[in-house]
Amino acid sequence: MPFRYLGVPVQPTRLTKQECSIRIEKMVSKIRNLGARKLSYAELKPFVITICGMEALNFIVSLLLPGVLLRSQNKRGGLGIKKADIWNIATVAKLAYWIYSKADRLWVRWVHQVYLEGSDWNSYKPPQDVSWTWKNICKVKDIMSTGYINGQWQHHEKGYTIRSGYEWLRAKDTKKPWYNQVWNQMNIPKHSLITWMAMNKGMNVKDKLFKIGCCQDDKCLLCDLYPETVDHLFFDCPYSRQIIRKVETWCESKIPFQNAMLRCSRKKGSTLKRKMIAMILNACYYQVCHQRNSVRVNQVMDSPEIVLKKIKEECWSRIKGKILFPVVGKDEKWMDRLMVR
């Protein structure tokens, strides 16, 4: 049946990896075009989400092949972009829910008449000679079965929704221990983005670029002594350490270098103080990255004293916009000392 319905190829057999790769190439080419390359990370995010939304129907029709999902580089998850494999399962689960609830749809009636024939959907097992699509729907039904109690979806008051299914599936993934500190509501968004990239080792540091032949050496741009890796840039570089030491003096708090975000969450003190320390640490990461880029582009680097001044200005501007209630007790005294310094 060589035709399409709503842009999706209709055929009796499953789509091959080669057939799916055509759609992937179209998505990737749109993201990698000349206009998209000029966008910042903040501008690129809604651009990617829009393109992925255009292909959402393919995720609803059937489970895509693992090789196809791995090639969907723009759907790996993070920064509000849904993770492709989990999103695919959550969307197909909507079809299984319609079958269970006997939704008023022609294809649902046909399924109950031809496949189920009065059988219980919860315990139904597909025979071997049925279509690949029907087997996928049954497979997803088994995956989502623990989310139901007495036939009722437990994670949304109005029954199953794709969003609630996606959140339920995603909750099974192990959350990074530094998640709450990186995406702390007190943080400046652009600072959180840089920290998120650093924690995921996703920055284009010279050690990585040197290995693929994009630069002549791998020496750190800030100290010119050691190879520039993510850990060195933010934790071991003498320039970065000077900034951290000055910030420690300013905020009267010891900031550990290694696993800083993880240990920051374990520090004693009020919730407000921990959030503010995390915000200051994110600002440090951002300023280190900013100075590194300044050296690469303009061969100019600010002194640690000037960097500390920038961190203070950005953090206090954020605090004034976020803390809309009176601070009392030890937090008030601590914040008063920060303002004086």
CA–CA separation, 278 vs 260, rounded Å?
A: 9
Could you identify the residue written with the tokens 């300023």? 287
pLDDT at residue 73 in the model: 45
Tens of pLDDT, residue by residue over 70-106, are 555 445 556 667 777 788 888 889 989 999 888 898 8
Which amino acid, residue 118? G
> Residues of 113-132 as b/e, b for ≥16 C-beta within 10 angstroms?
eebeeeeebeeeeeeeeeee
Could you identify the residue written with the tokens 């950005």? 314
Q: Other C-beta atoms within 10 Å of 239: how many?
A: 21
Q: Which H/E stretch holds residue 153?
A: strand 152-153
pLDDT at residue 35 in the model: 64
**What is the dihedral sign for C-alpha 175, 208, 52, 190?**
positive
Tens of pLDDT, residue by residue over 142-153, are 999 988 888 788
User: ∠ CA(40), CA(45), CA(47), 5° rounding?
Assistant: 95
The answer to whether the beta carbons of residues 234 and 223 sit under 8 Å apart is no
pLDDT at residue 200 in the model: 82
Phi, psi of 233 (to 5 degrees): -60, -40
Global confidence as pTM:
0.68
